[in-house]
Structure 1
């Protein structure tokens, strides 16, 4: 019996070796695809191609009676590694007339991430903190674009610098998208203005399929090349025309801030770092750690610039929470009925 198992295991080992060799060959082919994409400015992520791959692999899996979930998980991981392989070749530079890009970033990773992506696209990029604003004078080139990833508090410190910018200089703001914030930026800078709001973890490496919202501020034709550049990186770019678009999302962001902050306060009170494995399963500690590594003024901005919406939503949701708790305590049938009704939406 033992010899039979060993014989089968040896065969499995050979198959595993073949799988790894095939993966290596696939990644080599992907690398060649990446070179072509880099040369001609083809986006890293092509949704139709990805859907086609998954669909065709499912058909093969059905014939072989293999779990679709296994194939989906396997192909997702393979494609993720493939995108990383394509990243290694860099990206086509969309606008060769841009000689100098300045990024002013608080203590956060978004500015660093954009610096890396722009450098992979062969742009001259310089990164400064708000307190280093005087060092910008040493740059020999004319500033064609400035990206600010800072809080409203830091914005006040560099206000004079922005006011002195050329009217041809593109100002890109990486913060919260709101009417109040847009009005402020347009008042400070009279040239082209673009507002961006990333919807991805700032410590991510692979931007493929990650979402980023943008709002046209002024002179779209001057910065449309940058939107194209981000699309080449694989970002899913979503235009926001109505600045009241994201009321639900604003509230969800507020809840994330609220929950992470309360969790931190709770940890201070307990004065311990729990290693309870159940806690790790039920609460994403990695997100909480990242939350406290960012500049807290960003969270203040998120609340202040959407103050009215958040207050309205808090009142609305507080009433819903009260009804929810009441139904759990006093009338579980109502809870179950509503639960099943909501569940149908996700089927």
Structure 2
């Protein structure tokens, strides 16, 4: 009974600490909202890497001096920062008013809505051109300084080719996951500035900070730079590539990855074990892999089919290489060829050598979070 009373007293103290923590978080949120307002008024970006690095280093040092895990404090701070970045998105600085008015073709789609919302937060007038507005296309596009094409990948070239004449100072942009053909179509259809963008994220992001956008320049760097400057204000990471290099990279980064996940998901669906049974005996790393497989099948089948089909001709040889490596590995397993398996492991390990330790650390943090989020029956 005495031990129970001591335990209850200690738990009461923990509850008091947690209550204080919640109050401090609420106070911090109010302060970060004020920071966001100042950034907007002064034209500063939401994300300032130097400030984040400095803050994390200082708090880690303070934690270690007080006998608290630096990793724990950094985890908490990064989660709070994510909330702060989200809080600072409601109103954003406009550093490129020359982009107004903007027209988003396909603006009722999920990615179109995402860009429309962000542009409006930056004080840029946005008009939507979707199926319902086809009859008034010329009126909607009249005077536009930015036209952003956000339509399914299998329709983008036809949409671009059928655009009416745009003003010569209008920036024409597409945001599809292939770039060579759309950028070529834009250059052929429009005499003014052209830019290809590929957002490496979906519509369910909490904020734009640290989100990657691949940039493929077409024509008119001055006007393109205006949009890129606005994207930097939102906190995005911009990676510039030529269109051919981009599409080759996406064959590996997207198409091959989606195909592998697609096949593995179908394989799981044909097994006798239920997903619940598989999950119940899974390690954190496999739980994470299951999440990524499940994530694909929670989204649009049409979208992922289009992504895979759009570049199939280009990835056919990659798929043959993949199949060959798979078959070679299977032969080694059947023959009990441990030396051959180790050789294959070593070949792959050399590819990852420069990033292996970083990947190990990052994945460990993800695995801990995956384990923390488990709900025990």
For Structure 1 versus Structure 2, the TM-score category normalised by the shorter chain is 0.7 to 0.9
Q: Which moved more, 1:331-340 or 1:168-177?
A: 331-340
Residues 172, 194 of structure 1: 8 Å contact kept:
yes
Residues 180, 243 of structure 2: 8 Å contact kept:
no
Residue of structure 1 in register with 2:76 after alignment: 74
C-alpha distance in 2 between matches for 1:300 and 1:68:
46
C-alpha distance in 1 between matches for 2:64 and 2:265:
47
Residue of structure 2 in register with 1:62 after alignment: 64
Residue of structure 1 in register with 2:319 after alignment: 314
Change (3 A) 1:133 1:231: same
Q: How many residues align?
A: 342
Residue of structure 1 in register with 2:191 after alignment: 190
Residue of structure 1 in register with 2:233 after alignment: 232
| Pairing 1:1-347 to 2, within 5 Å after superposition | 1-88=3-90, 90-105=91-106, 108-130=109-131, 132-139=133-140, 142-155=143-156, 157-159=158-160, 161-241=162-242, 243-244=244-245, 247-262=248-263, 274-276=275-277, 278=279, 281=287, 282-284=289-291, 285-292=294-301, 294=303, 296-301=305-310, 303=311, 307-308=313-314, 310-329=315-334, 330-336=336-342, 338-339=344-345, 342=349, 345=354, 346-347=356-357
Consecutive unaligned residues of structure 1, counting only runs of 5 or more, are none
The Cα of 1:336 is off from its aligned counterpart by 3.5
User: TM-score, with normalisation over the residues of structure 1?
Assistant: 0.86
The Cα of 1:99 is off from its aligned counterpart by 3.2
Residues 195, 218 of structure 2: 8 Å contact kept:
yes
Change (3 A) 1:199 1:268: same
Change (3 A) 1:92 1:107: closer
C-alpha distance in 2 between matches for 1:108 and 1:293:
13
User: TM-score, with normalisation over the residues of structure 2?
Assistant: 0.80
C-alpha distance in 2 between matches for 1:126 and 1:266:
44
Consecutive unaligned residues of structure 2, counting only runs of 5 or more, are 358-377
- What whole-Å deviation, never above 9, does each CA across 1:33-73 have from its counterpart, x for those lacking one? 11111111211111121122222222222223323332222
Question: What SS does structure 1 have at the residue aligned with 2:163?
Answer: helix
Residues 171, 224 of structure 2: 8 Å contact kept:
yes
